[in-house]
Amino acid sequence: MKSIVYKYPTLYRFFLTLNHGKKLQDIYQIVAKKIDKYKTVIDVGSGICLLKNHLHVTNQYFGIDLNENFVRYARSKGINAIKMNMFNFKKYPKADVYVICGTLHHIYPKHGLLIKKLKNKGKLIVCEGAKKNLLQENKVTYLVRKLLDKFLLDNDGINTFDNRNKWNLSKNDLKVFFQKLKAREIFFYKNFVFAIWN
């Protein structure tokens, strides 16, 4: 069962903005600056396709997401959005650049597979937020977070809370993870880590 924010795209946008503030726009601007003009871009796990508004007008954009509500919302805004499982690699439209932003924690433990497959298709840009250390939290805090997550917050209805809760990577952990996958460039912005493959 999806939490309420995954059922209502405008509520999802509100919570993203509430959680990240100005950083949200900054993140998409940073990604957009790494994409040349006249390139076809696929936004993997695109949500409501916020990246589209930051790309150059010459870029062709496709958002892919499994959430029908998000895809329908993006299409209502005139955006090319496709309902598709991101692991169905044969169905991807042809593209120059693939972007994965804020998605890896939703697909844990298959996050490495996604990167391995897409880094060989074209330029790959990944952006993911580092997590706080949750290993010391007590059972009550854990249960409260799990309950809030189930009904209100980050429950996408696909990956379980317990799986997503294992995504407990610090900035340094993310850097090491991206280095092991041979990223060409790794850099930080606040609590986010960016990695690029060509």
Check if the beta carbon of residue 131 is closer than 8 Å to that of residue 168: yes
Antiparallel, parallel or unpaired: β 97-101 and 40-44: parallel
Q: Model confidence over 183-193: pLDDT tens digits?
A: 999 999 998 99
Q: Model confidence over 15-60: pLDDT tens digits?
A: 888 878 889 999 999 999 999 999 999 999 999 999 999 999 999 9
Residue 72 vs residues 77, 96, 106, 117, 121: alpha-carbon distances, Å: 9, 25, 20, 27, 27
How far is Cα 106 from Cα 40, in angstroms, rounded to an integer? 25
Q: What's the average model confidence in pLDDT over 73-91?
A: 96
pTM (2 d.p.): 0.88
Q: What's the average model confidence in pLDDT over 146-159?
A: 56
Q: What's the average model confidence in pLDDT over 64-87?
A: 96
Task: Set out the domains of the chain in order of their start, with CATH numbers.
Answer: 4-197 (3.40.50.150)
DSSP state of 66: S
CB-side neighbour CA atoms (13 Å) of 85: 7
